[in-house]
Amino acid sequence: MPLENYGAAAEKDFVLLIGDRAIEFQRAPHTHEIFDLGTAWLELTKLPFVYAVWALRRGVENRALRAELRSSKRFGMETLDQIIETREEFDEDFRRDYFEWHIHYHLAEDEKKAITKFCELLQKHNLGPVFPPQFVS
């Protein structure tokens, strides 16, 4: 059931929060025990948790979109310091740590193995149609 508002999160017995709301909750006073999906996945698989990727539909011409995504990534990497310095969410030390240490902007071999493992587990537990990942650059 969705939260009626984010202020109510501290009053619930359990709640799933994602993104800025999760960070805000974690940094605020509360009595909840926090379970981090990334930590749980690492303990289970010894692989990093991949929270998000740009995924493209197979069988659809997407050369131009792939070029645009590469360009967007390049621009983001080139302006990362400016983004960290000028954003207002949280304090700059937190932003720097979060954007420079906690977020990985490239799919290395361990991240690819993690995605493949996730797909294998989805298939093993019959959790809908699963398509093996094909990684492109």
- The pLDDT tens digits for 62-85 are 999 999 999 999 999 999 999 999
Query: How high is the pLDDT of residue 15?
Result: 87
Q: Is residue 136 part of a domain?
A: no
Strands (E), the chain: none
Element (H, E) at 113: helix 109-124
Q: Which two tokens stand for residue 107?
A: 């799919």
The total number of structural domains in the chain stands at 2
Q: Which two tokens stand for residue 16?
A: 């799933």
Q: Is residue 27 part of a domain?
A: yes
In which domain, by residue range, is 17 found? 1-34
pTM of the predicted model as reported, rounded to 2 decimal places:
0.78
The rounded distance, in Å, linking the Cα atoms of 61 and 46 is 35
Assess contact for 125 and 118: CB atoms under 8 A.
no
The rounded distance, in Å, linking the Cα atoms of 102 and 84 is 13
